[in-house]
Structure 1
Amino acid sequence: MTKIIFMGTPAFAATVLKGILADSHYEVLAVVTQPDRAVGRKKVIQTTPVKEVALAYDLPVYQPEKLSGSSEMEAIMSLGADGIVTAAFGQFLPTRLLHSVDFAVNVHASLLPKYRGGAPIHYALINGDERAGVTIMEMVKEMDAGDMIAADSIAIEETDNVGTLFEKLAVVGRDLLLSSLPAYLAGNLRPVAQDPSQVTFSPNIQPEEEVLDWSKTARQLFNQVRGMYPWPVAHTYWKGERFKIQEAVAVEGEGPAGQVISRNKKELIVATGQGALSLLTVQPAGKPKMTVADFLNGAGRDLAVGDRFGE
């Protein structure tokens, strides 16, 4: 039985962890995840999805703020693991830690060398890619730069957003890891180096990238909205305050970019640089997320054709 230390944080990683725990070929000695964080306006302490799985299986949990030089890393190295599996962990692994085990592999949610970094699923949607995938790669002390062990992909559907694609790719990653790891550990699956000329990056989304530029095409804005939902959520401005748009669809229409060109009790259509965007789910400042119909019948009842967003 191969003894593993698992490192991961979000629901994507939790799905991978559950798959490993269900496979009798592996024993998970411990789980390493990011520290619990205070979230929301009420600053409620929230455990990570990976920690929740670990606790359900009575696994030891380590949550160092930073692995390098920590007492947690020393404790992890003393466990006698054969290898490390990571999935969306959120920290670099020190070289000393990597050298302390026989193998260290990562489940990365992109088709490397495309989209190295922390937001590959967001970028696949924002850029309008037709497919998204997962790569199993060897860990090195450089972001997502290790040799590739295996890869698989799925089509991106029109209805996909970050949340749905995360769920789908978590299953792809789980199954790909479990199908490729035995052959890799047996020396029958030879890793392939990444082509440096094809490397692109997907850094974490910055606040300024969340703002909708109405001069872009309707298709670009549709991709931006779904590429940021359910987090961090794209937004524009209305009455000088932030106005979040969680869901929208591209439709026909024309007018000055950002201008409301159609409005009734259930529909709100805004012109873009090319085409128009029909808003479906929104969140005005200080209000909860709501359907556009609820917005138009409430906080947005005075919104009229000719009004502009983004000002």
Structure 2
Amino acid sequence: MYITVRPPVIRSQLNRRLFSHSPLNILFFGSDQFSIHSLKGINDLRQDGSKVGKLQVIARPPKWCGRKNSILRYPPIVKAAEELGLSSPLLCDTNADLVNLRQVVKDGQYNMIIAVSFGKLIPGKLINDVLYALNVHPSLLPRYKGASPIQYTLLNRDEKTGVTVQTLHPSKFDQGSIVARTKPLNVDQLLAKGITSEFEDDVPIKTAIMMDQLGMEGSNVLKDVITHGLYLRDCNETTEIEPSYAPKITTEMRQINWESDEPESLLNKLQVLGPIFTHKQITTRDGVTAKRILFHDLKVVSQCPDDLKKPGEFTFDESKRNLYVKCKTNCVQVNSIQFEGFKVDNAKQFMTSLRKRCGPEMAQQKVFL
């Protein structure tokens, strides 16, 4: 793979001896499928025996999720570590938990930290206890610093993306020095490769594909960095890439604006962020209010039914059993839809329950807000 880096510059005789003779003992901080690819790459080097000695995974604690918080879900990397035959991951969530790892570093003689999609800032005190600290980030930094680079790449319909290995900054996210990067990668070509790993059902399809494909690219770059000692060089690479940010995805980003959103934009948003939502007026004992409606599956159609005139209006075709909603231009066909707090319905089930859930008067108003 072509990597946009200069040849390594060895800083000292000590570093040269460490690189030549001392295997790296690594604390690996990860969570999702993107990070699992990097973990597998480092484990390959561990099994080779020359570059990596110890490998200990650090993960976030499990969370209750699902309806009525009935499912305790561990981060995917916990299962991956088990399948690789590694020691059980150490679970850390708070800053205090992470600072307490200093004793683990001391006792285990760990000399490198690698953080990949961990979701927490690694404390400066812990970073300062090891010789090397790296991060694998799914964008061509400094573009899309922040928590959601894959989502912003897809939402903005960028043509190119990539992966960066950078040093960990002791107090800020994505402010380290660039160690290595992939060449620019074509987004459409990555999406066309599809998924090769297992994902939870709630990971949107386009995001899952990019996590998978960029994860493999990132693993290759990281292995190159370790194998060739690129982490030892003086990192002061300049770039013409314009800095930008990719902050956390908010609930508001999933809301539909019927007046401005195009059908293709809604489909893309659904495939990147997961279920998108609108509102429908309903009648309650306290009067008229708005109920959130979630769209789980839709597709773009080229022709709208004649009775749809304004954005947000919807109609049901009895013969085709299809629900159509008017957008700024053209329509979307909604296949899976849900009144918040109820089960996911198909179009026919949604229309059948409309009167009961909205009240007779509001059920007659076939429009989403």
**Matched-pair contact (CA < 8 Å) for 1:125–1:226:** no
Aligned to 1:225: 270
Counterpart of 1:263 (choices 307, 312, 317) is 317
Pairing 1:21–2:43 present: yes
Q: CA deviation at 1:252?
A: 3.1
Structure 2 match to 1:176: 221
- Within the candidate set 286, 297, 304, 2:348 is matched to 297
Q: Secondary structure at the match of 2:27?
A: strand
Please state whether the residue corresponding to 1:299 is helix, strand or coil. Answer: helix
For residue 87 of structure 1, report the CA deviation from its aligned partner: 0.5
What is the CA-CA distance between 1:104 and the residue it aligns to?
1.0
Q: TM-score normalised to the size of structure 1?
A: 0.84
Aligned AA (1:181): I
Residue 46 (1) aligns with residue 77 (2): no
Distance in 1, matches of 2:249 and 2:323, equals 27
Cross-structure match for 1:273: 328
| Shift, 1:5, TM fit | 0.8
Q: What is the 5 A alignment of 1:1-311?
A: 1-23=23-45, 24=48, 25-40=51-66, 41-56=68-83, 57-68=85-96, 72-78=100-106, 79-140=108-169, 141-152=171-182, 153-156=185-188, 157=191, 161-185=206-230, 187=232, 190=235, 192-193=237-238, 198-215=242-259, 216-229=261-274, 233-238=275-280, 239=282, 240-253=290-303, 255-260=309-314, 263-264=317-318, 265-289=320-344, 295-301=346-352, 307-310=366-369
Deviations 1:67-98, CA, capped at 9 Å, x for gaps: 34756322232121221111101111122221
| RCO higher in structure (CA 8 A, sep ≥6) | 2
| TM-score where L is the length of structure 2 | 0.72
Greater share of residues in helix: 2
Q: Deviations over 1:217-255 (max 9, x none)?
A: 2233222222202xxx32112454322223333343463
- Percent sequence identity is 22
- CA shift for structure 1 position 287: 4.0
Distance 2:364 2:212 in 1: 38
Cα 1:300–1:27, aligned 2, differ >3 Å: closer, same or farther?
farther
Task: Give the aligned residue type for 2:338.
Answer: Q
Q: Give the 3-state SS of the residue equivalent to 2:126 in structure 1.
A: helix
8 Å CA contact 1:33, 1:48 repeated in 2: yes
Residues 98, 188 of structure 1: CA spacing in aligned structure 2 closer, same or farther, 3 A cutoff? closer
- Flag the 1:112–1:181 CA change in 2: closer, same or farther, 3 A: same
Q: Which moved more, 1:213-222 or 1:80-89?
A: 213-222
Could you say which structure has the larger radius of gyration? 2
Amino acid at match of 2:175: A
CA deviations 1:135-166 (Å, max 9, x no partner) are: 11111131111122222334234886222222
Q: Is the 8 A contact 1:183 1:189 kept in 2?
A: no
User: Given that residues 127 and 223 in structure 1 are in contact (C-alpha distance below 8 angstroms), is that contact kept between their aligned partners in structure 2?
Assistant: no
Q: SS where residue 91 of structure 1 aligns?
A: coil
Letter in 1 for 2:276: A
Amino acid aligned to 1:273: K
Unmatched runs of 5 consecutive residues or more in structure 2:
1-22, 195-204, 283-289, 355-362
- For residues 349 and 231 of structure 2, the distance between their equivalents in structure 1, rounded to whole angstroms, comes to 63
- 2 CA distance for matches of 1:113 and 1:309? 40
Q: Following the alignment from structure 1 to structure 2, what is the Cα–Cα distance between the partners of residues 305 and 28?
A: 66
CA RMSD of aligned residues (A): 2.9
Does structure 1 conserve the Cα–Cα contact (< 8 Å) formed by 2:105 and 2:111? no
Secondary structure at the aligned position of 1:235 is classed as strand
Where 2:153 maps in the other structure, the secondary structure is helix
| Shift of residue 59, structure 1, vs aligned partner | 1.3
Q: Which amino acid aligns with 2:60?
A: Q
3-state SS in 2 of match to 1:14:
helix
Q: Is the 8 A contact 1:85 1:105 kept in 2?
A: yes
Output the CA distance in 1 between the equivalents of 2:113 and 2:29. 7
Check conservation: 1:253, 1:271, Cα contact below 8 A: no
For 1:178 and 1:120, the matched residues in 2 are separated by 22
User: How many residues are treated as equivalent by the alignment?
Assistant: 302
